[in-house]
Chains A and B, each alone.
Chain A
Amino acid sequence: MTTLGRVAVYLVFALAAYAAVGAVVAGLRRDRRVMRSVRNAFAAAFVSALVAIAALEYGLVTNDYSLSVVFEHTSRNLPLVYKMTSLWASQEGSLLLWLTVLTGAAGIVMYQNRHRNRELVPWVAAVLGGIAVFFAGLAAFVSSPFAHVPGAVPADGSGLDPSLQNPYMAAHPPMLYLGYVSMAVPFAFAMGALITRRTDARWLVSVRRWTLVSWTALGIGMLLGAHWAYVEIGWGGYWAWDPVESAALMPWLAATAFLHSVMVQEKKGMLKVWNMVLVIAAFSLCIFGDFLTRSGVVQSVHSFVQSAVGPWLLGFLAVVLAASISLLIVRLPTLRADHKLESVVSREATFLFNNLLLLALAFAVLWGVVFPILSEAARGVRATVATPYYDFFLVIFGLPLLALTGIGPLIAWRRASPGSLWRTFRWPVISGLAGGAFLALLGLGSSPAGLTALSLCVFVTVTIGMEFARGTAARRAIAGGSWPRALRDLVNRNRRRYGGYVVHLAIVLLVVGVTASSAYSSVDEANLGVGQSMRIDGYTLRNTGLFQRRGPNYRLEYVRLQVYKGGKPDGILEPGLRQYDTGQVGNEVDIRSSLLTGTDLYSILQAPDRNGSGVSVKVLVNPAVGLVWLAGVVFALGALITIWPDPREARQLARRYGELLARSEA
Chain B
Amino acid sequence: MSPRPRLVVALVVGSLLAVFLAYQALFNSGTLLVSVAQLRSDADGAAQKRVTLTGTVVRASRTSDPMRFVLRDESSAQTVAVSYRGSVPDAFKTSRRVIVTGRLENGVFVAQPDSLLTKCPSKYSSGGS
Collect the chain B residues with CB atoms within 8 Å of residue A364's CB: 20
Determine the residue in chain B with the shortest Cβ distance to A361.
Answer: B16
Binary contact readout A385-400 vs B (1 if CB under 8 angstroms, 0 otherwise): 1101100110011000
The answer to whether A356 touches B16 (Cβ under 8 A) is: yes
A26 CB to nearest chain B CB (Å): 37
The answer to whether A607 touches B90 (Cβ under 8 A) is: no
In B63-96, which residues have CB < 8 Å from any A CB? Answer: 63-65, 67, 85-94
The answer to whether A587 touches B90 (Cβ under 8 A) is: yes
Q: Does A594 contact B (CB under 8 A)?
A: no
A125 CB to nearest chain B CB (Å): 29
The answer to whether B125 touches A360 (Cβ under 8 A) is: no
What would be 13 A-B contacts, judged by CB atoms less than 8 Å apart? A72-B123, A90-B124, A245-B129, A299-B54, A303-B125, A352-B9, A371-B30, A382-B34, A383-B32, A385-B31, A584-B92, A585-B88, A606-B87
The answer to whether B87 touches A585 (Cβ under 8 A) is: no
Q: Does A464 contact B (CB under 8 A)?
A: no
Q: Which residues of A contact B (CB under 8 A)?
A: 72-73, 88-91, 94, 161-164, 166, 168-169, 172-173, 176, 225-226, 228-229, 232-236, 238-240, 242, 244-245, 293-294, 299, 301-305, 307, 340-344, 349, 352-353, 356-357, 360, 363-364, 367, 371-372, 375, 381-386, 388-389, 392-393, 396-397, 525, 527, 583-587, 604, 606-607, 610-611, 613, 616, 618
Q: How far is the CA of A235 from the CA of B129 in the complex (A)?
A: 10
B24 CB to nearest chain A CB (Å): 8
Known A-B contacts A163-B91, A225-B129, A235-B114; A381 and B32 likewise in contact (beta carbons under 8 Å): yes
Q: A343-B5, A383-B32 are in contact. List 7 more A-B contacts (CB 8 A).
A: A90-B124, A229-B129, A236-B87, A299-B52, A302-B127, A584-B92, A587-B87
Interface SS of chain B = loop
Q: Does B122 contact A (CB under 8 A)?
A: yes
User: Within the complex, which residue of B29, B54, B129 is in contact with A228, where a contact is CB–CB below 8 Å?
Assistant: B129
The answer to whether A344 touches B3 (Cβ under 8 A) is: yes
The answer to whether A161 touches B9 (Cβ under 8 A) is: no
Determine the residue in chain B with the shortest Cβ distance to A88.
Answer: B126
Collect the chain B residues with CB atoms within 8 Å of residue A381's CB: 32-33, 44
The answer to whether A228 touches B2 (Cβ under 8 A) is: no
B96 CB to nearest chain A CB (Å): 9
The answer to whether A161 touches B28 (Cβ under 8 A) is: no
In B5-34, which residues have CB < 8 Å from any A CB? Answer: 5-6, 8-9, 12-13, 16, 19-20, 23, 27-34
The answer to whether B120 touches A173 (Cβ under 8 A) is: no
Q: How far is the CA of A232 from the CA of B32 in the complex (A)?
A: 30
The answer to whether B16 touches A357 (Cβ under 8 A) is: yes
Q: Specify which of B16, B54, B64, B118 lies most central, judged by the most chain A CB atoms within 10 Å of its CB.
A: B16
Collect the chain A residues with CB atoms within 8 Å of residue B128's CB: 163-164, 225, 228-229, 232-233, 301-302
Collect the chain B residues with CB atoms within 8 Å of residue A90's CB: 122-124
A631 CB to nearest chain B CB (Å): 18
The answer to whether B87 touches A299 (Cβ under 8 A) is: no
Q: Does B117 contact A (CB under 8 A)?
A: yes
Q: How far is the CA of A169 from the CA of B126 in the complex (A)?
A: 8
Q: How far is the CA of A94 from the CA of B122 in the complex (A)?
A: 14
User: Within the complex, which residue of B8, B20, B52, B119 is in contact with A301, where a contact is CB–CB below 8 Å?
Assistant: B119
Determine the residue in chain B with the shortest Cβ distance to A380.
Answer: B44
B100 CB to nearest chain A CB (Å): 11
Binary contact readout B33-55 vs A (1 if CB under 8 angstroms, 0 otherwise): 11000000000100000001010
